[in-house]
Amino acid sequence: MNYLVPSILSADFCELGTQLDIIGKSSVEHLHVDIMDGMFVPSISFGMPVLECVRKRTDLFLDVHMMVERPERYVDEFMRLGADGITIHVEACDCIYKTLEHIRSLGGKRGIAINPETPIEHAFPYIEHVDMVLVMTVHPGFGGQSYIPECYDKIRSIRSEINKRGLPVDVEIDGGVRLENLKRNLDVGANMIVTGSAVFKGDIENNIKVFLSRMKQEA
Amino acid symbol at 10? S
Tell me: does residue 177 bind ligand DX5 (CB under 6 A): yes
Q: How far apart are the first and last CA of the chain?
A: 8
Binding mask 156-175 for Zn ion (x = CB under 5 A): ------------------x-
In the set 181, 185, 195, 207, which binds ligand DX5 (CB under 6 A)? 195
Which residues are identified as catalytic?
Answer: 34, 174
Tell me: does residue 145 bind ligand DX5 (CB under 6 A): yes
Spatial contact of 118 and 92, defined as CB atoms under 8 Å apart:
no
> Least distance in Å: CB of 20 to ligand DX5?
15
Tell me: does residue 132 bind ligand DX5 (CB under 6 A): no
Tell me: does residue 196 bind ligand DX5 (CB under 6 A): yes
Q: Which of 163, 165, 183, 164 is nearest to 173 (CA)?
A: 183
Spatial contact of 170 and 191, defined as CB atoms under 8 Å apart:
yes
Q: Which of 112, 175, 192 is nearest to 138 (CA)?
A: 175
Query: Could you say which of ligand DX5, Zn ion, none residue 144 binds, taking C-beta under 5 to 8 angstroms by partner kind?
Result: ligand DX5
> Least distance in Å: CB of 83 to ligand DX5?
15
d(CA 199, CA 31): 12
Binding mask 23-42 for Zn ion (x = CB under 5 A): -----------x--------
Q: Which of 135, 208, 206, 210 is nearest to 176 (CA)?
A: 135
Is 171 in a helix, a strand, or coil? Answer: strand
Tell me: does residue 194 bind ligand DX5 (CB under 6 A): yes
Footprint on this chain of ligand DX5 (rule: CB under 6 A): 7, 9-10, 32, 34, 65, 138, 140-145, 174-177, 194-198
